[in-house]
Amino acid sequence: MPVQASYMFVIFIWSTTPLGIVWSSESMPPTLSVFIRMSIALVLAAFVVSLSNIRVPWHKRACTLYTYSALGIFGGMLMSYMAAQTVPSGVISLIFGMAPIISGLLAQRLLGEARFTAIKFVSLGLSLIGLYLICAAQIQTLNLPPKGLLYVFCAVCSFSLSGVMIKRVKLAIHPMATTFGALVFVTPLFALFWYLIDGEFNPEIWSERSMWATVYLGIFGSLLGFLAYFHVLQKLSASTVALSTLITPAFAVGLGAWLNNETITVTLIVGAVTVLLSLALFIFGDQWLVGKAKCAD
């Protein structure tokens, strides 16, 4: 697949995933919904690995990589599904847009990366203001419980921490091997959590929309989306890939309003614009300053 097509595919998947999560868990328990999603992805990944003769290593370093990946999937997905009971899909996507900034903070501690520059601290402050406005719009205007918003923030932190920890494992293997290994580790966790927390299986009450959304997320969101993302990472610059975090929240908010009748308030729009501006400043601010300084010379 051409890299341009992979890039557009990643944006499409990330834009539709929050809405898919909301729909898939509207008539079935969220713990069961995410477990079925991961099971579908695991079966398909095993099928692809066996047909393609992709080598999946199981030595200590590889298992460490799979563990870090699985923990990010488990925490990120589980909290997102719990949040989807009350939080609109567009808001989930907006808060997830803060992942690059949270990852940057964690990377300073865990990877020894350089401290934030002044402009990155400004972007961090802006993102917190935007997050406050988004949360205020949900709690005050729409009268939604703050617990769901806390779930989303925990999901973003889990996802970001996993990405940083993965960078500590120096291992070059096929992206499908990483995907399959992570699914092998994480799917039993979802099964156990569903059994202990809920344990009920009542397909007669599931809506058709929930079932199709779960299948969609299993095939596209959890398998093909990962492959396209890894392909993009290998072929495009980091700044180009980072643009997706600016594009997908806007699409997700629009899709939620169009297809799921989610309310968009003025406060939410202001908060969303503030978060997106902070991300743009975080990703491109230093480059802009360097370019401006060169032009001045």
Residue by residue, pLDDT tens for the chain (297 residues) are: 677 788 888 889 988 999 999 999 889 999 999 999 999 999 999 999 998 888 999 999 999 999 998 988 899 999 999 999 888 888 898 888 888 888 888 888 888 878 888 888 888 898 889 888 888 877 777 777 788 889 999 998 998 888 888 888 888 888 888 889 999 999 999 999 999 988 889 999 999 999 999 999 999 988 888 777 766 766 665 555 656 767 788 888 888 889 998 888 888 888 888 888 888 888 777 777 767 666 666
Q: Which residue, 4, 46, 12, 50, is CA-closest to 221? A: 12
Lookup: tokens for 36: 């079925």
Three-class DSSP category at 86: coil
52-60: Cβ within 8 A, 24+ apart = 52/176, 54/174, 54/176, 54/177, 54/180, 55/173, 55/174, 55/177, 56/173, 56/177, 56/180, 56/181, 57/173, 57/177, 58/181
CA–CA separation, 236 vs 49, rounded Å? 25
Query: For position 62, what pLDDT does the model report?
Result: 93
Query: For position 237, what pLDDT does the model report?
Result: 54
CA–CA separation, 94 vs 131, rounded Å? 9
Query: 217, 24 in Cβ contact below 8 A?
Result: yes
> Helix crossing, 3-24 with 225-235: angle to 10°?
150
CA–CA separation, 80 vs 87, rounded Å? 9
At 182, phi and psi to the nearest 5?
Answer: -65, -40
What is the maximum span of the chain, computed from C-alpha positions, in angstroms?
Answer: 71
Which amino acid does the sequence have at 42?
L
Q: What is each CA distance from 259 to 19, 167, 177, 244, in whole angstroms? A: 9, 37, 35, 22
Query: For position 96, what pLDDT does the model report?
Result: 86
CA–CA separation, 166 vs 65, rounded Å? 6
Q: In the chain, what are the domain boundaries?
A: 3-296
Q: Which residue, 42, 9, 24, is CA-closest to 92? A: 24
Burial class (CB in 10 A: 0-12, 13-18, 19+), 13: buried
Query: For position 178, what pLDDT does the model report?
Result: 86
Residues in the chain: 297
Instruction: Supply the pTM of this predicted model.
Output: 0.86
Q: Which residue, 231, 225, 217, 176, is CA-closest to 4? A: 231
